[in-house]
Chain A
Amino acid sequence: MPRYFFDSDDGDDRIVDDEGLELPDDQAAYKEASTAIVELAKDRIPADGPLRHLQMWVRNEEGLSVHILTLKFEADERLYLRGT
């Protein structure tokens, strides 16, 4: 099975995956990445700010991008700032 690498950025830190995961194909890698980015969001969507962008890059063994996922969290900034 091919190995895929999942780099991620939670809006503060980018973590490069140097271990990777063996998966059957690109579609399986997509499924894993989409589950993982939501799990990351669960801990990172801020209660103390109106914006957070999460990203995940899936690379294959040749180092080529297979998928790029972005999760954007945006509260209405005007209303948010009025409340602070």
Chain B
Amino acid sequence: MQLPIHLEANGYPAASLLKKLRCRDTISVDEERIVEAMLEGQSVIDVRVDFIREGDRPVASTLLVEGYAARYRMVESGARQITAIHVPGDFVDFHSFLMKEMDHGVATLTPCRVARVPHATLKSISETQSHLMRMFNLMALIDGAIHREWLVCMGRLPAPAHAAHLFCEIYMLLQAVGLARDFAFSFPVTQDNLADMLGLSPVHVNRTLQELRRKDLIEWQGEVLRFPDWDRIAQFAEFDDTYLHLRNEPR
């Protein structure tokens, strides 16, 4: 099983999460040790595996270490809507710590490496590490901000701008954890996956991508997606990264 090449660069399991936190605030050496020690039971999961299911009651939250994963819901017609994309350093179900029952599933979009953090560990961190817990809460709040942005894009942007917005977002998220630079990133997902992310048919997604290529807004070769001109695609997509809260400040 081949993990996406550009997504395994951060090495040790806590690296991406620590980078993600350090974009937003200073993390002390003690906090770093706690983050490293909380991760247990790493495993590799193949592509297209529903590794957390709607209705599950996890006893640990899952941190994505390598690869892409997605939260999703299925409707009765069998159609799937992806409601969030996760990149390394993201908890795919931090909320299961408090919400207990999963109200959606989580599936791998590529082979993934994950680590588990037992809820008991999170509980003890919440009792002794108030700053670290605030940072974890911030990550969950940012997940909510991303959901709001998706809603706006889905409801109000034409398909080409919507797709472009998604690509800009994923690039910024990967760049923040050191897994993308020079306006290119590894994005080895299928057209069906993209259709499920955008809430469109695969045929219209295909047309939309061709349109973005024609306008020279993206280049997509193999698994690497590249922006020839960041300012132009950001403007086209009405992308403004405020909602990702990438500023380092005391929190």
Q: Which residues on A are within 8 Å of B, measured CB to CB? A: 6, 8, 13, 15, 17, 19, 21, 32-33, 35-36, 39-40, 42-43
- Return the CB mask of B113-156 against A: 1 if under 8 Å, else 0: 00000000000000000000000000000000000000000000
| CB < 8 Å neighbour of A36 from B160, B191, B207, B210 | B207
A interface footprint on B173-217 (CB within 8 Å = 1, 0 otherwise): 000000000000000000100000000111110110011001000
Knowing A8-B207, A17-B207, the reply to whether A43 touches B191 (Cβ < 8 A) is no
Tell me which residues across on chain B come within 8 A of A13, comparing CB atoms: 211, 214
Give per-residue flags for B27-48: 1 if the beta carbon is below 8 A from chain A beta carbons, else 0: 0000000000000000000000
Indicate if the CB atoms of B206 and A6 lie closer than 8 Å: yes
The chain A residue sitting closest to B211, CB to CB, is A15
Q: Does the CB pair A43–B158 fall under 8 Å?
A: yes
> B203 near A33 (CB under 8 angstroms)?
yes
A15 contact from B158, B159, B202, B210, Cβ within 8 A:
B210
On whether the beta carbons of A35 and B201 are closer than 8 Å, the reply is yes
Question: Judging by beta carbons under 8 Å apart, are B200 and A21 in contact?
Answer: no
Q: Given A6, A8, A35, A43, which contacts B159 in the complex, CB threshold below 8 Å?
A: A43
CA distance A22 to B148 in the complex (A): 33
What residues of B have a CB within 8 angstroms of the CB of A6 in the complex? 203, 206-207
Given contacts A21-B191, A43-B158, A43-B159, A15 and B203 within 8 Å (CB-CB): no
- Going nearest first, the 9 A-B pairs with the smallest beta carbon separation are A36-B203, A43-B158, A39-B204, A36-B204, A35-B201, A36-B201, A6-B203, A32-B203, A15-B210
Question: Chain B's nearest CB lies how many Å from the CB of A41?
Answer: 10
Structural contact, B200 and A39, CB atoms closer than 8 A? yes
Cα distance A30–B223 in the bound complex, in angstroms: 29
A contact residues around B211 at 8 Å (CB): 13, 15
Q: Which residues of A contact B159 (CB under 8 A)?
A: 39, 42-43
Select which of B160, B206, B210 is within 8 A of A21 by beta carbon: B206
Given contacts A15-B211, A21-B191, contact A40 B206 (CB under 8 A): no
CA distance A42 to B207 in the complex (A): 14
B83 to chain A, nearest CB (A): 19
**Minimum CB distance partner of A56 in chain B:** B203
Known A21-B202, A39-B200, A43-B158; contact A15-B191, beta-carbon cutoff 8 A: no
A39 to B199, CA, bound (A): 10
B144 to chain A, nearest CB (A): 27
Flag if B201 contacts A19 (CB, 8 Å): no
